[in-house]
Amino acid sequence: MKKDDCIFCKIANGDFGTEFIIETNDIVAFRDLNPQAPEHILVIPKDHYDNISQITDTNLLGKLLEGVQKVTQKIGLKEFRTVINTGKQAGQSVFHVHIHILGGKELKPTFD
């Protein structure tokens, strides 16, 4: 299901012609607009969920992590960090669930 005012629904729908690193029936991955590392990619479901807590379909949860594997294998990224921000307090700013993949540089071991 799509949400009309959601930027990531529009991206997943191809509205902006965003280049997808991978695309399956259920998910897409694309580069972050404001990268925090040399590699900064977002993996999202095509359907709209505000956050990870709203996904009840465990198959979809698996597909999102499989997406992380597919992306990193495709670009040859062996060492990376994955982040899922849930809620404003945790730093979520786009309320369509997404997994960040960050890599290509030494990342500080911080959770701040």
> Counting Cβ atoms within 10 Å, is residue 31 exposed (0-12), middle (13-18) or buried (19+)?
middle
| Residue among 30 and 49 whose Cβ is closer to ligand 5GP | 30
* 8 in contact with Zn ion (CB under 5 A): yes
* Partner from ligand 5GP, Zn ion, none contacting 94, C-beta within 5 to 8 A by type: ligand 5GP
Chain positions 70 to 99 lying near Zn ion, rule: CB under 5 A, are: 96
Q: Cβ–Cβ contacts within 10 Å for residue 73, how many?
A: 11
Task: Please confirm, yes or no, whether 40 is among the known catalytic residues.
Answer: no
Residue among 93, 109, 110, 112 that touches ligand 5GP (CB under 6 A): 93
Residue among 30, 39, 41, 43 that touches ligand 5GP (CB under 6 A): 30
The token duo for 32 is 């972050």
Give the residue carrying structure tokens 């990619």: 41
Q: Which residues contact 43 (CB under 8 A, 6 or more apart)?
A: 27, 28, 29, 64, 67, 68, 71, 98, 99, 101
Binding site for ligand 5GP (CB under 6 A): 7, 30-34, 85, 91-94
Q: Which residues form the catalytic set?
A: 98
